[in-house]
Each structure stands twice: as C-alpha cells, then as structure tokens.
Amino acid sequence: MLKVIIFSVIIVGIAVLLLSVRILLKKNGRFVKTHVSQSKAMRERGVTCVQSQDFAMRHKSPCAVKE
C-alpha cells in the first residue's frame, strides 16, 4: 500500500515538473493565456466570452422597452 502511494506521488511530481518546464526554463516564463477574451485570434474572429456577451445584452439599451 505504501509503495503504491509513493509511486503515485513520484508520478504526479514528474508530471508537474514536465508541465512546468517551459515556465521554469524560459526567462519571464508565464502560463499560456487560455481565456477567450485574452486570445488575439479569437478577438480577430469576433468570438467573446459568454459572460461579456451576457453583460452586453443585459445593458445594451437602458431605454429599451421590457417585454
């Protein structure tokens, strides 16, 4: 049982290390921005965040007639 736990911790540690290689070795390394609003390609295509779209639709016109 203890061998399995130690083995699992080692595997998880190796995975975290491999995932962070780019961030640790690169000067000013940062995580890749994965949010829709932070992606230049998505902004060029006109794709925005659902929360931003919802906010814009709710506050589009303060003089609009409510149905």
pLDDT in tens, 10-35: 999 999 998 888 787 877 777 777 77
Q: Are 43 and 35 in contact (CB under 8 A)?
A: no
pLDDT of residue 54: 80
Given this model, what pLDDT does residue 9 score?
Answer: 97
User: CB–CB of 38/47 below 8 Å?
Assistant: no
Q: How far apart are CA 67 and CA 59, in angstroms?
A: 15
